[in-house]
Chain A
Amino acid sequence: MFSPSHFTAVVLFALFASVVFGITMRETPARMVRYGAYCFVLFVGSAIVLSWAMYFIAR
Protein backbone atom coordinates (compact mmCIF):
# COMPACT_ATOMS: atom_id res chain seq x y z
CA MET A 1 0.00 0.00 0.00
CA PHE A 2 1.25 3.44 -0.96
CA SER A 3 1.07 5.79 2.03
CA PRO A 4 2.26 9.27 1.09
CA SER A 5 2.39 12.18 3.50
CA HIS A 6 -0.28 14.82 3.08
CA PHE A 7 2.21 17.14 1.38
CA THR A 8 3.42 14.44 -1.02
CA ALA A 9 -0.20 13.73 -1.93
CA VAL A 10 -0.76 17.45 -2.57
CA VAL A 11 2.31 17.68 -4.80
CA LEU A 12 1.34 14.58 -6.82
CA PHE A 13 -2.25 15.82 -7.17
CA ALA A 14 -1.05 19.26 -8.25
CA LEU A 15 1.41 17.81 -10.75
CA PHE A 16 -1.09 15.58 -12.55
CA ALA A 17 -3.93 18.11 -12.49
CA SER A 18 -1.65 20.92 -13.72
CA VAL A 19 -0.43 18.85 -16.69
CA VAL A 20 -4.03 18.20 -17.80
CA PHE A 21 -5.11 21.81 -17.19
CA GLY A 22 -2.11 23.16 -19.11
CA ILE A 23 -2.72 20.95 -22.15
CA THR A 24 -6.48 21.42 -22.31
CA MET A 25 -6.82 25.11 -21.45
CA ARG A 26 -4.19 26.63 -23.74
CA GLU A 27 -3.37 26.29 -27.44
CA THR A 28 0.39 26.64 -27.94
CA PRO A 29 3.06 24.50 -26.18
CA ALA A 30 4.76 27.54 -24.59
CA ARG A 31 1.48 28.80 -23.12
CA MET A 32 0.58 25.26 -21.99
CA VAL A 33 3.82 25.02 -20.00
CA ARG A 34 3.34 28.45 -18.47
CA TYR A 35 -0.28 27.80 -17.51
CA GLY A 36 0.57 24.35 -16.14
CA ALA A 37 3.35 25.83 -13.99
CA TYR A 38 0.98 28.59 -12.85
CA CYS A 39 -1.65 26.03 -11.80
CA PHE A 40 0.96 23.91 -10.01
CA VAL A 41 2.24 26.88 -8.01
CA LEU A 42 -1.31 27.92 -7.12
CA PHE A 43 -2.27 24.38 -6.02
CA VAL A 44 0.78 23.86 -3.82
CA GLY A 45 1.01 27.48 -2.66
CA SER A 46 -2.62 27.65 -1.59
CA ALA A 47 -2.25 24.33 0.28
CA ILE A 48 0.77 25.70 2.20
CA VAL A 49 -0.94 29.02 3.00
CA LEU A 50 -4.17 27.33 4.14
CA SER A 51 -2.18 24.82 6.23
CA TRP A 52 -0.40 27.61 8.10
CA ALA A 53 -3.69 29.48 8.52
CA MET A 54 -5.31 26.41 10.08
CA TYR A 55 -2.24 25.89 12.28
CA PHE A 56 -2.59 29.41 13.75
CA ILE A 57 -6.39 29.18 14.03
CA ALA A 58 -6.06 25.93 16.01
CA ARG A 59 -3.65 27.48 18.55
Chain B
Amino acid sequence: MAGTQNNAAATAKGSQPGFVYLPLIAGWLVPGAGHFLLRKWGRGTLLAVSILGMFILGIAMQGKIYAHAGDILDMLTLVGDLGNGLLYIVGRVFGLGADSVQVTTADYGTRFIVVAGLLNVIAAVDAHNLRTGRKPS
Protein backbone atom coordinates (compact mmCIF):
# COMPACT_ATOMS: atom_id res chain seq x y z
CA MET B 1 0.00 0.00 0.00
CA ALA B 2 2.76 2.41 1.02
CA GLY B 3 4.72 1.39 -2.06
CA THR B 4 1.74 2.18 -4.27
CA GLN B 5 1.40 5.64 -2.65
CA ASN B 6 5.11 6.30 -3.16
CA ASN B 7 4.84 5.28 -6.81
CA ALA B 8 1.83 7.56 -7.24
CA ALA B 9 3.75 10.45 -5.63
CA ALA B 10 6.76 9.71 -7.84
CA THR B 11 4.60 9.74 -10.96
CA ALA B 12 2.93 13.02 -9.92
CA LYS B 13 6.22 14.78 -9.12
CA GLY B 14 8.00 13.29 -12.12
CA SER B 15 5.40 14.88 -14.39
CA GLN B 16 6.08 18.38 -13.00
CA PRO B 17 7.30 20.82 -15.64
CA GLY B 18 10.95 21.81 -15.75
CA PHE B 19 14.32 20.13 -15.94
CA VAL B 20 14.29 17.10 -13.60
CA TYR B 21 18.03 17.27 -12.88
CA LEU B 22 18.05 20.99 -11.98
CA PRO B 23 17.86 20.43 -8.17
CA LEU B 24 20.66 17.84 -8.45
CA ILE B 25 22.96 20.14 -10.42
CA ALA B 26 22.08 23.27 -8.39
CA GLY B 27 22.54 21.34 -5.14
CA TRP B 28 25.96 20.15 -6.26
CA LEU B 29 27.11 23.60 -7.38
CA VAL B 30 25.78 25.50 -4.34
CA PRO B 31 25.16 23.64 -1.05
CA GLY B 32 21.45 23.64 -0.19
CA ALA B 33 20.37 25.20 -3.51
CA GLY B 34 18.61 22.02 -4.65
CA HIS B 35 16.35 22.13 -1.59
CA PHE B 36 15.79 25.88 -1.99
CA LEU B 37 14.54 25.24 -5.55
CA LEU B 38 12.03 22.76 -4.09
CA ARG B 39 10.98 25.34 -1.46
CA LYS B 40 12.41 23.29 1.38
CA TRP B 41 13.79 26.42 3.05
CA GLY B 42 14.55 24.98 6.50
CA ARG B 43 16.30 21.87 5.24
CA GLY B 44 18.20 23.83 2.62
CA THR B 45 19.43 26.34 5.19
CA LEU B 46 20.59 23.62 7.59
CA LEU B 47 22.35 21.75 4.78
CA ALA B 48 24.00 24.94 3.49
CA VAL B 49 25.18 25.96 6.97
CA SER B 50 26.54 22.47 7.71
CA ILE B 51 28.37 22.00 4.40
CA LEU B 52 29.63 25.59 4.17
CA GLY B 53 30.67 25.47 7.83
CA MET B 54 32.62 22.29 7.31
CA PHE B 55 34.35 23.64 4.18
CA ILE B 56 35.21 26.98 5.83
CA LEU B 57 36.54 25.26 8.96
CA GLY B 58 38.63 23.00 6.74
CA ILE B 59 40.14 26.04 5.04
CA ALA B 60 40.63 27.77 8.42
CA MET B 61 42.56 24.72 9.62
CA GLN B 62 44.87 25.11 6.61
CA GLY B 63 43.50 22.02 4.90
CA LYS B 64 44.69 21.21 1.40
CA ILE B 65 42.45 21.43 -1.67
CA TYR B 66 43.69 18.83 -4.13
CA ALA B 67 44.28 19.93 -7.73
CA HIS B 68 45.74 16.76 -9.19
CA ALA B 69 46.04 13.12 -8.20
CA GLY B 70 49.38 11.36 -7.89
CA ASP B 71 48.15 8.04 -6.51
CA ILE B 72 44.87 6.27 -5.82
CA LEU B 73 44.34 7.92 -2.41
CA ASP B 74 44.94 11.37 -3.90
CA MET B 75 42.43 10.48 -6.61
CA LEU B 76 39.76 9.60 -4.04
CA THR B 77 40.49 12.82 -2.16
CA LEU B 78 40.21 14.82 -5.37
CA VAL B 79 36.83 13.23 -6.14
CA GLY B 80 35.64 14.16 -2.64
CA ASP B 81 36.89 17.73 -3.08
CA LEU B 82 35.08 18.05 -6.43
CA GLY B 83 31.83 17.30 -4.58
CA ASN B 84 32.00 20.84 -3.21
CA GLY B 85 30.99 22.24 -6.62
CA LEU B 86 31.53 26.00 -6.88
CA LEU B 87 33.25 26.07 -3.46
CA TYR B 88 36.02 23.93 -4.97
CA ILE B 89 36.41 26.30 -7.91
CA VAL B 90 36.43 29.36 -5.62
CA GLY B 91 39.00 27.66 -3.39
CA ARG B 92 41.24 26.86 -6.36
CA VAL B 93 40.89 30.30 -7.97
CA PHE B 94 41.72 32.18 -4.77
CA GLY B 95 44.40 29.71 -3.68
CA LEU B 96 42.65 28.91 -0.40
CA GLY B 97 44.04 26.29 1.94
CA ALA B 98 47.60 25.07 2.27
CA ASP B 99 49.88 23.78 -0.47
CA SER B 100 51.05 20.91 1.72
CA VAL B 101 49.89 19.35 4.98
CA GLN B 102 52.49 20.16 7.63
CA VAL B 103 50.61 20.22 10.94
CA THR B 104 48.02 17.91 12.51
CA THR B 105 45.18 20.43 12.25
CA ALA B 106 45.88 20.78 8.52
CA ASP B 107 45.26 17.05 8.19
CA TYR B 108 41.93 17.47 10.02
CA GLY B 109 41.17 20.41 7.71
CA THR B 110 41.86 18.37 4.59
CA ARG B 111 39.42 15.68 5.80
CA PHE B 112 36.82 18.35 6.62
CA ILE B 113 37.02 19.67 3.04
CA VAL B 114 36.71 16.17 1.55
CA VAL B 115 33.78 15.22 3.78
CA ALA B 116 32.04 18.55 3.05
CA GLY B 117 32.17 17.56 -0.63
CA LEU B 118 30.81 14.07 0.03
CA LEU B 119 28.01 15.44 2.22
CA ASN B 120 27.18 17.95 -0.52
CA VAL B 121 26.76 15.10 -3.01
CA ILE B 122 24.43 13.29 -0.56
CA ALA B 123 22.40 16.50 -0.15
CA ALA B 124 22.19 17.04 -3.92
CA VAL B 125 21.01 13.45 -4.47
CA ASP B 126 18.41 13.97 -1.72
CA ALA B 127 17.13 17.05 -3.59
CA HIS B 128 16.94 14.97 -6.78
CA ASN B 129 14.98 12.25 -4.96
CA LEU B 130 12.55 14.86 -3.64
CA ARG B 131 12.14 16.26 -7.17
CA THR B 132 11.44 12.88 -8.75
CA GLY B 133 9.18 11.74 -5.90
CA ARG B 134 11.40 8.83 -4.89
CA LYS B 135 11.46 10.49 -1.46
CA PRO B 136 7.89 11.55 -0.61
CA SER B 137 8.65 14.62 1.54
Decide: A4 near B61, CB < 8 A? Known: A16-B54, A19-B50, A23-B47. Answer: yes
Contacts of B49 in A (CB 8 A): 19
| Chain A facing B: main interface SS | helix
Decide: A16 near B50, CB < 8 A? Known: A1-B62, A4-B61, A24-B123. Answer: yes
Q: Verify A27–B108 contact, CB threshold 8 A.
A: no
- A12, B116: Cα distance in complex, Å: 12
Q: Verify B105–A23 contact, CB threshold 8 A.
A: no
CB distance from A6 to the nearest CB of B (A): 8
CB distance from B29 to the nearest CB of A (A): 17
- A3, B104: Cα distance in complex, Å: 9
List A residues at the B interface (Cβ < 8 Å): 1-4, 6, 9, 12-13, 15-17, 19-21, 23-24, 27-28
CB distance from B99 to the nearest CB of A (A): 14
Q: Verify A16–B123 contact, CB threshold 8 A.
A: no
Contacts of B62 in A (CB 8 A): 1
Closest 4 CB pairs of A and B: A2-B60, A24-B126, A16-B50, A20-B119
Decide: A17 near B115, CB < 8 A? Known: A3-B105, A27-B137. Answer: yes
